[in-house]
């Protein structure tokens, strides 16, 4: 089953799905594994595994610091691939995606990176700094390997641009809730509702909404308007402040349990 069909099947049983995010190697791979375990056991559907990069341009200060700390501790792309292979086997109920920046893929070798990702069971890629027009080989090779290249809609995207971008994508569309970088609080207001309506009209792919989603109230507001809520910075802050054992109860609250 491809990623889009998997998401649609899960939506037959849930009003909205959850996708979470963590930076590989921060604060350690051991803690990453425990965080993933708690996410998986509390119903998270998709997890973004961010391969750290020195200039994560779409990310806010919390995730930037996590990237820098992971790199300073010597985290390598090969370490991330090995870790991903392990957690994909250990938690088959979760769809794992790699999130990173294109320089990482380019330096590793585009086709080798995509092929190895397929072999370990990764379902797709989130690459925020690669416009689809500049990534034609990446898109083609991803599709040939059965992996979903996830595209982005933003509040500044025109209707024409969204339809064009959606044609390149598979899996789902990552919908940016507001302008700016990750980690800032998103206001669940009429402007967001209008944007979500625009996003829905532009594609038949499932919609995942991220940037500033941090509470059960935020997730509940998205029900009926989006297919998946994306929680990133809030989880990293939680682990920093309270430790990985706090992640499970937080995920349960997001799901209204």
Per the structure, the complete domain to which residue 125 belongs is given by 3-151+212-254
Return d(Cα 82, Cα 247) in angstroms, integer: 23
Q: What is the domain count for the chain?
A: 1
Q: Which long-range contacts (CB under 8 A, 24 or more apart) does 90-93 make?
A: 90/33, 90/37, 91/36, 91/37, 91/40, 93/40
Is 45 a domain residue?
A: yes
pLDDT value for 257: 75
Is 185 a domain residue?
A: no
Catalytic residue positions? 48, 59
Splitting the chain (257 residues) into consecutive groups of 10 residues, what average pLDDT does each group show?
Answer: 97 97 97 98 97 86 93 97 98 98 96 98 97 96 97 94 96 78 50 90 96 86 93 92 96 90
Is 186 a domain residue?
A: no
Is 143 a domain residue?
A: yes
pLDDT value for 178: 52
Is 134 a domain residue?
A: yes
Q: Which CATH number does the domain housing residue 80 bear?
A: 3.20.20.70
Q: What is the pTM of this model?
A: 0.94
Is 182 a domain residue?
A: no
Is 178 a domain residue?
A: no
Is 107 a domain residue?
A: yes
């Amino acid at each position: 089953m491809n990623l889009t069909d998997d998401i649609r099947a899960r939506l037959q049983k849930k009003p909205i799905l959850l996708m979470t995010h963590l930076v590989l190697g921060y604060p350690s791979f051991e803690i990453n594994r425990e965080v993933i375990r708690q996410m998986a056991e509390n119903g998270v559907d998709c997890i973004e595994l961010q391969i750290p990069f020195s200039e994560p341009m779409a990310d806010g200060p919390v995730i930037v610091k996590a990237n820098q700390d992971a790199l300073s501790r010597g985290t390598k792309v090969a370490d991330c691939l090995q870790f991903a292979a392990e957690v994909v086997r250990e938690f088959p109920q979760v769809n794992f995606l790699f999130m990173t920046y294109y320089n990482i893929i380019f330096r590793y070798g585009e086709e080798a990176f995509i092929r190895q990702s397929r072999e370990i069971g990764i379902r797709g890629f989130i690459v925020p700094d690669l416009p689809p027009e500049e990534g034609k080989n990446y898109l083609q090779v991803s599709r040939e390997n059965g992996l979903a290249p996830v595209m982005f809609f933003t509040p500044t995207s025109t209707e024409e641009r969204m339809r064009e971008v959606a044609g390149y994508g598979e899996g789902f569309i990552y919908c940016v809730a507001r302008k700016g970088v990750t980690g800032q609080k998103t206001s669940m207001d009429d402007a967001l509702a209008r944007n979500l309506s625009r996003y829905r009209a532009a594609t038949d792919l499932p919609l995942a909404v991220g940037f500033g989603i941090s509470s059960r109230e935020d997730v509940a507001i998205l029900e009926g308007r989006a297919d998946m809520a994306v929680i990133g910075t809030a989880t990293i802050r939680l682990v920093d402040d309270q430790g990985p054992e706090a992640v499970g109860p937080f995920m349960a609250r997001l799901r209204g349990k």
